[in-house]
């Protein structure tokens, strides 16, 4: 990996997996890229339906998206914090009920 880029593993769950068409993937982002940037990256890559599930109309992270970074829940107001090389992100719809 170039010292200007980081590799981040993305895992999709539930309906997001169906829309993204994959269980997981590795994406490469510039050093300093944030979770928000990662979401934009996969939204651009996999089309408007996924993008619609990741972002609210005004461009913020969709409130119905649950995100874990290295198995720790990420509050949406921390979506602009920089990621690190080797991070694992998990995306879920905010289902509940058990």
Partner 1 sequence: MFPYRGYAGKWLYVDLTAGKVEVREYDPELAQGYLGGNGFGTRLLWEHVGPEVDALAPESLLIFATGPLCGTLVPNAGRVEVIAKSPLTGIYGDANAGGFFGPELKFAGWDAIVVRGRSPSPVYLAVQDDRVELRDAGVLWGHTTSETEAAIRRAWDDPQVKTATIGPAGENGVRFASIQMTPQRSAGRCGMGTVMGSKGLKAVAVRGRGPIYVADLARFHELAVELHLRLRANPVFPAVSAYGTPGIVSLMDPLGRFPTKNFQMGSFPEVDKINAEALQNRALVRHLSCFGCPIGCDKLYSLPDGPYAGTSLRSVEYETLNAMGANVWSADLDAILAANRLCDDMGLDTISAGRAIGFAMELWEKEILNLDETGGLALRWGDVDVLLRLLGMIARREGFGNLLAEGMRQAAQVIGRGAEQYAMHVKGMEIAAQDGRAQKSMGLAHATSNRGADHLKAFPVIDETGYPDEARRRYGEECLPEMAQPLAIKHKPFLVKDGEDFGAVVDSVGVCKSGGTFVLAEIYWPDIAAAVEAATGMDMPVKRLKRIGERIYNLQRCYNAVHGITRADDRLPRRFTEEPSPSGNAAGQIVELEPMLEEYYQLREWDPETGWPTAEKLRQLGLEDAIERLDL
- Contacting positions for partner 1 (CB under 8 A): 13-15, 17-18, 23, 53, 62-64, 66, 68, 71-73, 75-77, 90, 92-98
Sign of CA dihedral 46, 50, 55, 59: positive
According to DSSP, the residues that pair with 67 across neighbouring strands are 91
State the pairing for strand pair 88-93/5-12: parallel
Taking the complex as a whole, how short is the minimal distance between the CB of residue 23 and partner 1, in angstroms? 8
| CB nearer partner 1, residue 2 or residue 77 | 77
Taking the complex as a whole, how short is the minimal distance between the CB of residue 92 and partner 1, in angstroms? 5
According to DSSP, the residues that pair with 65 across neighbouring strands are 93
Taking the complex as a whole, how short is the minimal distance between the CB of residue 40 and partner 1, in angstroms? 19
3-state secondary structure of 10: strand
């Amino acid at each position: 990996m170039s010292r200007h880029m980081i590799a981040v593993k993305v895992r999709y769950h539930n309906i997001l997996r169906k829309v993204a068409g994959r269980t997981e993937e590795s994406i490469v982002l510039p050093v300093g890229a944030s979770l928000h940037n990662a979401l934009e990256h996969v939204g651009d890559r996999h089309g408007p339906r996924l993008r619609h599930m990741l972002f609210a109309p005004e461009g913020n992270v969709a409130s119905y998206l649950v995100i874990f970074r290295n198995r720790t829940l990420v509050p949406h107001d921390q979506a602009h914090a920089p990621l690190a090389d080797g991070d694992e992100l998990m995306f879920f719809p905010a289902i509940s009920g058990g």
